[in-house]
Chains A and B, each alone.
Chain A
Amino acid sequence: MNRSRFDFVVGLFVAIGLLAMVFMALKVGNLASFDSGSGYVLEARFDNIGGLKVRAPVKSAGVVVGRVDSVGLDKETFEAIVRLRITSDYRFSKDTIASILTSGLLGEQYVGLESGGDPVYLAQGDRVGKTQSAMILEKLISQFLFSKAAETPAKAP
């Protein structure tokens, strides 16, 4: 086999390999819409974030608009600080409400953003004022049991 044929076949191999990498970047992972590092960051404080994880999606009206960038704890107020990286195409008003929701009954948790009517938009580093914490299943159940318990004696006599 002569040299130029080596070059050709190896070139073809490298091209196929690079194509596979592009496939992995664009079709398997989603480089096109979520390039971590781009977009802007908002901060939201919650009393309880439940099982929210870094990289969980941020959705508005069901559409993914960003990802959870980091999760931390305020050492003084003991509130969870969640940083949200939002794609720069989307803007949200000052009075947006952030809540931690669950997809399906036992699905993954995500942050839902509900935009309000304020004409001023949130910018890089701003804090989302209104938040709603995660629903904790155990709390829900105990609330339900307590309310049942409270109801029962009223009926008894």
Chain B
Amino acid sequence: MIASIEALGHFITSRVERLGLAARFSGAILLVLWVSIRRTSLIIRELYFSGVRSLSIIAVSGLFVGMVLAVQGYEVLQRYGSAESLGVIVALSLVRELGPVVTALLFAGRASSAVTAEIALMRATEQLAAMDMMAVDPLSRVGAPRFLAAILSMPLLAAIFTSAGICGAWIIGVKLIGIDDGAFWSQMQANVDVRIDVLNGLLKSIVFGTAVGLISVFEGYFAVPTTEGIASATTRTVVISSLSVLLLDLVLTVMMFRGLS
């Protein structure tokens, strides 16, 4: 009994400790950001590995999600005789929620886990220490460009996901089911607000990019330099990133869309 209370206490304090470490780490990375932001060639390299390499999975997933939304949405809407609203339903769910959230989840699995493994391995093989010994700050040379690349790729990828999804819904709704093309687009345009829906959606994905980028670099940096350590750090990146994205989404949605309709 006492042992289990002790274990619980230890668990909680170690978690709080790690949170404190993460906060300090975030501060440190923000401090070196202005140095790294000028190293465009490094950021471009990371944009390639995080962004470009995620492009196909994001576009294909978006297309499929849009198609499924169209099939499901049509099935419900036609019961109420408002199948023309399909465009609105699909567009709003993608622009506000599914685009930013699903993109962030896929990004965490596809790109962030790789970033964590890469940094953890660089640490285990003393590459970061070697850099530090050559008077090059590993945080600004290795950490910050990967962090920045996540922030920059996320809104671009989310926009691509959403656009692909709407195209998918259009293919199913207009081409296959036969909803009127004009009604599909005009209803969508009349009900999707650029500032409230589109911009807030993009803002969400920037916040998700920041969180996922920070988590992946942090977990890589503080991974135990062993085989199991790297494996568990990679897993932790995916798990913590996904949970953070969903939690942040809840908070942001309440902040952005409460009081509207």
Report which A residues bind B (CB closer than 8 A): 3, 6-7, 9-10, 12-14, 16-18, 20-21, 23-25, 27-31, 34-36, 53-55, 57, 64
Complex-state Cα separation, A53 to B155, whole angstroms: 30
A13 touches B156 (CB 8 A): yes
Contact of B45 among A6, A53, A55 (CB under 8 A): A6
Task: Please give me the residue from chain B that is nearest to A17 by CB atom.
Answer: B156
Whether A13 lies near B51 (C-beta < 8 A) is yes
Given contacts A25-B194, A29-B197, A31-B194, contact A13 B162 (CB under 8 A): no
Q: Is B157's beta carbon under 8 Å from chain A?
A: yes
Verify A10–B198 contact, CB threshold 8 A: no
Contacts of A25 in B (CB 8 A): 194, 198
Measured between beta carbons, the chain B residues less than 8 angstroms from A16 are 55, 156, 160
Q: Which of chain B's residues have a CB closer than 8 A to the CB of A6?
A: 41, 44-45, 48
Interface of A is mostly: helix
Residues in B neighbouring A34, C-beta threshold 8 A: 193-194
Beyond A6-B44, A55-B260, whether A30 also contacts B194 by CB under 8 A is: yes
Task: Judge whether B258 is part of the interface by a CB distance below 8 angstroms.
Answer: no
CA distance A27 to B163 in the complex (A): 10
Chain A residues in 8 Å Cβ range of B44: 6-7, 10
A90 to B45 alpha-carbon distance, docked (Å) = 51
- Judged by a CB distance under 8 angstroms, whether B86 is at the interface is no
* Chain A CB within 8 A of B255 CB: no
Residues of A within 8 A of B197 (CB): 29
**With A10-B48, A28-B95 in contact, is A57–B159 under 8 Å at CB?**
no
